[in-house]
Amino acid sequence: MDDSRIIELFEDRDESAIREVERKYSAFLKKIARNVLKSEQDVEECLSDAYYKVWNRIPPEKPRDLPAFLGKITRDEAISVYRARRSKKRIGSEYEISLDELCEILPSADTPEEEFDARVLCDAIASYLGALPERTRKIFIRRYFFFDPVKTIATSYGMSVSAVKTALFRLRTGLKEFLTKEGFTV
């Protein structure tokens, strides 16, 4: 079934929409959740909650890119589950590893002013990424948005693990230089 038909099912409040999303996208969404969460039980809980959120968001929203829409909701839900579990116990994941790689560059937001600055920072990062070649941008996004392991990225692009690590290092260095030129303190 094509994505526009699935969206129509959601708009018609037809419960088969969830089954169609699960049939078509569950492997993709589980991969995203597994990159953040280590427990299969947590992954299943995350997907269940994500499907519920999708059900509540369509309508009123009508996504232009259903896989991206589903991926973002799943990613956000996985991070929420991760944070809840992390407060109980420490678990390692690609999410934690990839955030550690960026922690030197990106400050955290604790006040409303810092939250505004974080939004401006996001716009600057989007500008930086928009100027990159497509493949390089995808490597960055796969690592720092979808939390894909370096080895998975290397396999996907026919690169060695060390080449991907080098590319990510250069991307972080380039991002730091770009943000400094844009007036950010990093």
pLDDT (tens digit per residue) in 98-151: 555 555 455 555 556 656 666 677 778 888 888 899 999 899 988 988 888 999
**In the chain, which residues fall in CATH 1.10.1740?**
3-88
3-state secondary structure of 120: helix
As a whole number, the mean pLDDT across the chain is 84
CATH fold of the domain at 97-181: Arc Repressor Mutant, subunit A (1.10.10)
**In the chain, which residues fall in CATH 1.10.10.10?**
97-181
Q: Is the peptide bond before 107 cis (omega within 30 degrees of 0)?
A: no
Q: For position 38, what pLDDT does the model report? A: 81
Q: Is the model's pLDDT at 4 over the cut of 80?
A: yes
Give the lowest-confidence range in 7-11, 73-77, 95-99. Answer: 95-99
Q: How far is 141 from 139, CA to CA, in rounded Å? A: 6
More confident residue, 12 or 121: 12
pLDDT (tens digit per residue) in 55-71: 999 989 999 999 989 99
Q: For position 183, what pLDDT does the model report? A: 80
Nearest to 2 by CA among 29, 26, 20: 20
- Please give the single-letter amino acid code of residue 84: A
3-state secondary structure of 104: coil
Neighbours of 184 (CB within 10 A): 17
Q: How far is 46 from 35, CA to CA, in rounded Å? A: 12
**Is 3-88 in CATH node 1.10.1740?**
yes
With beta carbons less than 8 A apart as the criterion, state whether 49 and 77 touch: yes
Q: For position 113, what pLDDT does the model report? A: 61
